């Protein structure tokens, strides 16, 4: 019906593989897709534009990919929007990212709400600028009853900080006698992560060709299938998401077995 060409080594001469939605629906979809949306800055620089223009274009891609996810019937989409390390960037770039976040929510919230998207966040949102905190909290509140697609936005998120936060609470509860140290197992750790109750990602996508996790979901991605494309996030398309899912569906997940 269609030909599939491996894409993750970025063969620019490869045929453009079109994968149909029907083909994807023949096999189980990943329950949870996580995306490291990377390459906005390079996209802009290549065009002689300021980095903020790349972030704006990246926001448009996010809109599209949320729509595709809804259309496909994905249950969980988690996107890495701002890391704990991204505070190292110039003030101006941080401001433009925060401004775009507010703009995205203001423009899209009604549509997201009507389409059944439940917005949640991972990370310390209280440390964001006040305007962003207000917008994000409104988005969470207004969409909390929705359950078609859970959209987790990782904002001021760092996986090591998440683990430290969990360890601290577990230590306090253990000292208080609420948890017995011999009972500390995976399920206890998971209960105290920001992702408590969320299934682990099945598929992790990173754009812009980088092959690292950059402090994203370290615990949760122990057995996640990783898929990377050289395409920069503003150029990412529905068809590339289909390609990633298609490849995921054809991998053999052994989870440590044979």
Write the binding mask 135 to 174 for Mg ion: x where contact by CB under 5 A, - elsewhere.
----------------------------------------
State yes or no: residue 158 binds ligand IPE (CB under 6 A).
Answer: no
Write the binding mask 19 to 48 for Mg ion: x where contact by CB under 5 A, - elsewhere.
-------------------x----------
214 touches, from ligand IPE, Mg ion, none (C-beta below 5 to 8 Å by class): ligand IPE
Q: Which is nearer to Mg ion, 30 or 123 (CB)?
A: 123
Nearest residue to 236 via CA among 94, 88, 57? 57
Nearest residue to 151 via CA among 206, 189, 111? 111
Alpha-carbon distance of 117 to 68, in angstroms, equals 12
Max Cα distance, the chain (Å): 62
Using CB under 6 A, pick the residue from 38, 108, 202, 225 that binds ligand IPE: 38
Cα distances from 74 to residues 29, 117, 141, 194, 202, in angstroms, run 7, 11, 22, 21, 12
> What are the beta bridge partners of residue 33?
77, 203
Q: Is 202 a catalytic residue?
A: no
Q: Which is nearer to ligand IPE, 184 or 213 (CB)?
A: 213
Alpha-carbon distance of 231 to 123, in angstroms, equals 27
Site for ligand IPE in 66-95 (CB under 6 A): 80-83, 86
Question: What are residue 154's phi and psi, to 5 degrees?
Answer: -85, 115
State yes or no: residue 42 binds ligand IPE (CB under 6 A).
Answer: yes
| Selected range binding ligand IPE among 38-46, 132-140, 169-177, 218-226, rule: CB under 6 A | 38-46
80 touches, from ligand IPE, Mg ion, none (C-beta below 5 to 8 Å by class): ligand IPE
Helices (H), the chain: 21-25, 40-46, 51-72, 91-114, 130-143, 159-175, 186-192, 238-249
Q: Which is nearer to ligand IPE, 29 or 35 (CB)?
A: 35
Q: Nearest approach, Cβ of 20 to ligand IPE (angstroms)? A: 29
Active-site annotation holder among 13, 38, 114, 200: 38
Q: Is 38 a catalytic residue?
A: yes
234 touches, from Mg ion, ligand IPE, none (C-beta below 5 to 8 Å by class): none
Angle subtended at Cα 83 by Cα 8 and Cα 118, rounded to the nearest 5 degrees: 85
Using CB under 6 A, pick the residue from 30, 39, 123, 158 that binds ligand IPE: 39
Could you tell me if 220 and 200 are in contact, meaning their C-beta atoms sit under 8 angstroms apart? yes
Active site residues: 38, 86
Q: For binding to Mg ion (CB under 5 A), which residues are involved? A: 38
């Amino acid at each position: 019906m269609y030909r599939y060409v491996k894409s993750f080594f970025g063969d620019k001469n490869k045929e453009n593989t079109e994968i149909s939605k029907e083909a994807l629906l023949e096999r189980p979809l990943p329950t949870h897709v996580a995306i490291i949306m990377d390459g906005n800055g390079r996209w802009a620089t290549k065009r002689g534009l300021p980095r903020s223009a790349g972030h704006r274009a990246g926001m448009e891609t996010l809109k599209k990919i949320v729509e595709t996810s809804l259309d496909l019937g994905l249950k969980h989409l988690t996107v890495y929007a701002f890391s704990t390390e991204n505070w190292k960037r110039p003030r101006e770039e941080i401001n433009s990212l925060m401004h775009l976040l507010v703009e995205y929510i203001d423009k899209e919230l009604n549509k997201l709400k009507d389409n059944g998207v439940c917005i949640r966040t991972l990370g310390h949102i209280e440390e964001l600028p006040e305007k962003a905190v207000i917008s994000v909290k409104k988005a969470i509140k207004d969409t909390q009853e929705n359950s078609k697609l859970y959209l987790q936005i990782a904002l001021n998120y760092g996986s090591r900080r998440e683990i430290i936060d969990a360890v601290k609470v577990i230590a306090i509860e253990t000292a208080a006698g609420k948890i017995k140290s011999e009972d500390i197992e995976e399920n206890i750790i998971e209960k105290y992560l920001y992702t408590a109750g969320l299934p682990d990602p099945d598929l992790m996508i990173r754009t812009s060709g980088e092959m690292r996790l950059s402090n994203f979901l370290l615990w949760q991605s122990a057995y996640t299938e990783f898929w990377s494309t050289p395409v920069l996030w503003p150029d990412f398309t529905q068809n590339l998401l289909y390609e990633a899912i298609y490849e995921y569906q054809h991998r053999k997940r052994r989870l440590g077995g044979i």
